[in-house]
Amino acid sequence: GEEVAQTPKHLVRGEGQKAKLYCAPIKGHSYVFWYQQVLKNEFKFLISFQNENVFDETGMPKERFSAKCLPNSPCSLEIQATKLEDSAVYFCASSRPELTGNQPQHFGDGTRLSIL
Amino acid sequence: LAKTTQPISMDSYEGQEVNITCSHNNIATNDYITWYQQFPSQGPRFIIQGYKTKVTNEVASLFIPADRKSSTLSLPRVSLSDTAVYYCLVGAYGAGSYQLTFGKGTKLSVIP
């Protein structure tokens, strides 16, 4: 598609439950990025993929968080045993494959995760 | 990744030109300057990107002086729908450095 599609828009989980978020990148984009926006305007990079391969996972919490991008499926971000501090808006972005400085990332509208 | 500094908020009347300046003293040779716009409950939207001098597209202009230690996003004749948070980002997109680092952004309020 022409837009990054994230589902669901809102997700509510009790503390300790699992949460799974999905992202369909723009067709033809081979890079996918996940960001977490906790407080207003504060973004944190989590992980990026080049096709189905992890490209950069330096921002990914070592425990409880995992992500995948499998062929012919939406990418996913999964949080095991959620904590209150995981409440945030999770954004997915995608970009085209050229390895130059002028390929912007295009963002979806995010999934708002609320942990109760 | 170079740190950026921009005003926390700005107010403008409808129809005026708005200029938002971003400082990035530690910009590296390979860094590009990119601006995003974010409305409430939406993801950041790419506005414009540049490396040096001036870049213009259908929605904005980006002015970058020769030393590249700052940049100015110019929005011509703003309307109420331009009320949003604007982020200035600086980064290089070499292998392994694709992540974007967002600062706190500038909240632009357009007044009727």
- Owner of token pair 């980064």: B91
Q: What is the pLDDT of residue A99?
A: 57
Give the CATH number for residue B46.
Answer: 2.60.40.10
Domain extent listing, chain A: 5-97+105-115
Element spanning B19, H or E: strand B18-23
Ranked by mean pLDDT, the top range of A25-34, A73-82, A102-111, B30-39 is A73-82
Cα gap A21→A7, rounded to integer Å? 6
Q: Is B41 a domain residue?
A: yes
Q: Do B98 and A33 touch (CB under 8 A)?
A: yes
Q: Do A101 and B30 touch (CB under 8 A)?
A: yes
Distances (CA, A) of B106 to A106, B3, B11: 20, 15, 10
Q: What is the pLDDT of residue B101?
A: 77
- Owner of token pair 């590296």: B28
Q: Is B4 a domain residue?
A: no
Instruction: Look at B55 and B94; give whichever has higher pLDDT.
Output: B55
Structural domain of residue B53, as residue ranges? 9-111
Q: A19: closest CA among A85, A110, A66, A80?
A: A80
Angle, vertex CA A64, rays to CA A59 and CA A66, nearest 5: 60
pLDDT average, residue stretch A34-39 = 90
How many domains are contained in chain B? 1
In terms of residues, how long is chain A?
Answer: 116
For B90-108, how does the pLDDT look when each residue is reduced to its tens digit (9 = 90+)? 887 654 456 777 888 999 9
A110: closest CA of chain B, how far (Å): 6
Cβ-based contacts of B94 with chain A (< 8 Å): 99
Q: What is the 3-state secondary structure (H, E, C) of A84-96?
A: HHHCEEEEEEEEC
Q: What is the pLDDT of residue A114?
A: 97
Q: Do B102 and A41 touch (CB under 8 A)?
A: yes
Please confirm whether the linkage preceding B40 is cis (ω < 30° from 0): no
Q: Cα torsion for A22, A27, A32, A37, to the nearest 10°?
A: -60
Q: Is the pLDDT of residue B72 over 80?
A: yes
Q: Is B2 a domain residue?
A: no
Query: For chain A, what percent of residues have pLDDT higher than 70?
Result: 95
Q: Is the pLDDT of residue B78 over 90?
A: yes
Q: Is the pLDDT of residue A43 over 80?
A: yes
Cα gap B1→A96, rounded to integer Å? 21
Domain A5-97+105-115 bears CATH identifier 3.90.226.10:
no
Q: For A23-27, A29-33, B92-96, which range has the lowest pLDDT when averaged over its residues?
A: B92-96
Q: Do B43 and A4 touch (CB under 8 A)?
A: yes
Average pLDDT, whole number, for chain B? 90
Q: Is the pLDDT of residue A60 over 90?
A: yes
Q: What is the CA radius of gyration of chain B?
A: 14
Q: What is the pLDDT of residue B36?
A: 95
Q: What is the pLDDT of residue A96?
A: 85
pLDDT average, residue stretch A24-49 = 90
Q: Is B49 a domain residue?
A: yes
Q: For A13-17, A70-74, B81-85, B89-93, which range has the lowest pLDDT when averaged over its residues?
A: B89-93
Cβ-based contacts of A95 with chain B (< 8 Å): 98
Q: Do A42 and B41 touch (CB under 8 A)?
A: no
Q: Is B92 a domain residue?
A: yes
Cα gap B44→B101, rounded to integer Å? 12
Q: What is the pLDDT of residue B103?
A: 81
A102: closest CA of chain B, how far (Å): 7
